[in-house]
Amino acid sequence: MSDAEMRRVTAICNGTVIDHIPGGQALQVLRMLRLESGISNPISLVMNVPSDKLGRKDVLKIEDRELVQEELDRLAIIASEASVAIIRNYGVAEKRQVGLSDELVNIIKCSFSNCITQNQREPLPQRLRVVSRSPVEIRCSYCGKIQDMAEIHERII
């Protein structure tokens, strides 16, 4: 991020900065990370700022919270190009890579109404495989149905 962009929101002391989220997707990212309600951490959100890489991008700053790998896996589903910096004492302490695994286990629930996994009492984990990364295409490992990416945030487990 450039200084000008940094000044759009206050620098944070400790927490996580997610940069290079595709423009307009920040609210979905919050939902994917289950940060949209029920937490008290301050969150700053910048949407649709110009970006050389993406044209338009969103930026999220989450105070006093360091995202873990499992959360980064979720993030990758809708923002695989995002970069994540862990901030400690106003400095970048660590950069973490967002990576989309080949298989998503217990992250997304299959949307197909006749999939065997729709029976809530069946105990095996939800498994979906990533068949394409650009654009992201995800299929249920059981029924094989392609998942609708526009609604994927509603299927988060």
Partner 1 sequence: MEYPPLDQIRESVMGDVITMDDLTNEEIIKLLDNARKMLPVAKGDIHLPLLQGKVLANMFFENSTRTRMSFETAMKRLGGEVLNFTSAGSSVSKGETLFDTMQMIDGYADVAVIRHPRQGAAQYSADAVSIPILNAGDGAGNHPTQTLLDLFTIREAHAEFKDLNVVLVGDLRYGRTAHSLSNALARFGVNLTLVAPESLKMPNEIVSDLKSLGGIVTETDQLYEQIKDSDVIYMTRIQKERFPDEDEYSKVSEIYTLTESDLIGSKENMIIMHPLPRVNEIHPSVDSTKHAMYFEQAFNGIPTRMALLCKSLGIDISREVL
Q: Is 120 in the site for partner 1 (CB under 8 A)?
A: yes
Q: Is 50 in the site for partner 1 (CB under 8 A)?
A: no
3-state DSSP assignment of residue 149: helix
- How many amino acids of this chain bind partner 1 (CB under 8 A)? 27
Q: Which is nearer to partner 1, 94 or 148 (CB)?
A: 148
How is residue 98 annotated by DSSP?
-
Binding residue for partner 1, selected from 106, 133, 148, 154, defined by CB under 8 A: 106
d(CA 76, CA 152): 12
Q: Is 121 in the site for partner 1 (CB under 8 A)?
A: yes
For residue 71, the number of C-alpha atoms closer than 13 Å in the C-beta half-sphere is 14
Q: Is 124 in the site for partner 1 (CB under 8 A)?
A: yes
Binding residue for partner 1, selected from 85, 112, 130, 156, defined by CB under 8 A: 112
Determine the longest span between alpha carbons in the chain, in angstroms: 52
Q: Is 123 in the site for partner 1 (CB under 8 A)?
A: yes
Q: Are 84 and 18 in contact (CB under 8 A)?
A: yes
Binding residue for partner 1, selected from 35, 143, 155, 156, defined by CB under 8 A: 143
Q: Is 118 in the site for partner 1 (CB under 8 A)?
A: yes
Q: Is 28 in the site for partner 1 (CB under 8 A)?
A: no
Q: Are 126 and 110 in contact (CB under 8 A)?
A: yes
Question: Is the link from the previous residue into 125 a cis peptide, with omega within 30 of 0?
Answer: no
Q: Which residues would be at the binding site for partner 1 (CB under 8 A)?
A: 105-106, 110, 112, 114-127, 139-146, 157
